[in-house]
Amino acid sequence: MKTVLFFLLSFSVAQSQFVLNTGVHNAFDDNVNNNYLNTFDRLTQFSLQSGYDFNNENSNIQLFYLGSFNYYKNITARTFHTHSTGLVYSKLYGEESETELNTGVNYNLRIGREDFTYFDNSQYVGYINVKHQLSERTFGKLGYRIKYLGYEELSDLNNIENIFFAQILMKPG
């Protein structure tokens, strides 16, 4: 059985249209390698998120960066860092802004230490979705997402993923 315990500490600063978040997250794992050895380790993640919003009454454009450093205490060779940057566009339609269009692109990068570079990858993601208020508590959502995942050392695992979806969402109440 796998036991994981989380602690989260975060700080946030928001100034007008600029966003800056930092965080520290600890996880204790009794089987970090997911094998019969049941190796215990503690993962500490330091994260930084920043972004800038250009918005008006019915639309918003956001540029963002999210980075993290993931440190393993006992198996330090597994330590890695991630970087993500992107652009998001949102627009409201209708007399009561009951329809929302969201579209965006992201670039994600994972870089590990020498012994674990086979996990290193890059991702390109694009998406578009429309969310419409069907009633006071019910929303419908339609969308499409495409993702390319590429591994530098394991090119046989490179892939493109296409996802079309439809959802009915209900607010509790």
CATH number for the domain spanning 95: value is 2.40.160.10
How many domains in the chain? 1
DSSP codes of every residue in 22-88? EEEEEEEES-TT-STT---EEEEEEEEEEEEEEE-SSEEEEEEEEEEEEEESS-GGG-EEEEEEEEE
Instruction: Kindly report, residue by residue over 33-87, the tens digit of the pLDDT.
Output: 788 988 889 999 999 999 999 988 889 999 999 999 999 999 999 999 999 999 9
Instruction: Kindly report, residue by residue over 37-47, the tens digit of the pLDDT.
Output: 888 899 999 99
State the pTM of this model. Answer: 0.78
